[in-house]
Amino acid sequence: MTTPAPHPFVDDLALALLIADRADAITMDRFNARDLVVETKPDLTPVSDADKAVELMIRELVALERPGDGVLGEEYPELVGTAGRRWIVDPVDGTKNFVRGVPVWSTVIALQDEQGRIVVGVVSAPALGRRWWATLGGGAWVVEPGGVEPRRLSVSRVSSLADASLSFSDHFSWADIGRQEQWDVLMRSVWRTRAYGDFWSHLMVAEGALDIAAEPELNLYDVAGVSIVVTEAGGRFTSVDGVDGPQHGSGVSTNALLHDAVIAALAPRAS
């Protein structure tokens, strides 16, 4: 194992890891609970009592430890801070999995600084026994089941689409942005496709286990914490139009070597 060097933003990373610890305690207690309460939001997506409890915990902890910081989460209105920074959180990414007893879900935590940069990201998937984190300039890391020391992440060196492994969440949602044909062609262009979904696809790109992950529709809280893990591992994270960053409503992660080819494959066709 490789022991991590001191992280930039070490105090903020420590808080993010504390948030993850407390989130894990809540979510694992409610995972597969017989009395789990699940409601349907106006957008017809599910929300569980665990989603709400985790986000409330995060808001309370940030207010205590960083009283000037804001919080943007999925379940409650944005709390605008006074310090120019905000925590961007998805209390349970993969709620549909969570409520059905599928262990592929996580809490996604990010810190955005006064310049709009994502400077800390933590993704904790306790049912998988894994936690990923990154700081701006500090690299990306993972703790694995049975691991004693964190392992530093590095993307793959695959340079041809024909040799690439691609993952996604939903095959048919590409039609919603008018790019179903492009997506179908891209899928036929790569070596292997799997639908690992949600946060996991992108983080396996950061680990070098996959080469491409793509989703046509995303919210900032879904991937703010994920995107920095990908980029600090040496990859790229952009919109489907190739604009860098997690704030553009979609997400494409690659090992960077493949990125231009993927974006070109997904580009709108000339009319």
Length of the chain: 271
Identify whether the C-beta of residue 165 lies closer than 8 Å to the C-beta of residue 190: yes
pTM for this entry: 0.93
Provide the pLDDT for residue 40: 76
The stretches in the chain having pLDDT less than 70 are 1-6, 41-44, 271
CA-based end-to-end distance of the chain: 52
Provide the pLDDT for residue 271: 61
- Please, is 75 exposed, middle or buried when counting C-beta atoms within 10 Å of its C-beta (0-12, 13-18, 19+)? buried
Half-sphere exposure of 56 (CA within 13 A, CB side): 8
Angle among Cα 107, 113, 115 to the nearest 5 degrees reads: 140
Identify whether the C-beta of residue 218 lies closer than 8 Å to the C-beta of residue 248: no
Quote the CA–CA distance of 51 and 217 in Å, as a whole number: 20
Provide the pLDDT for residue 43: 65
The three-class DSSP label of residue 110 is strand
**Cα torsion 42, 47, 51, 56: sign:** positive
Provide the pLDDT for residue 263: 98
Domains of the chain: 10-145 (3.30.540.10), 161-266 (3.40.190.80)
Identify whether the C-beta of residue 229 lies closer than 8 Å to the C-beta of residue 140: yes
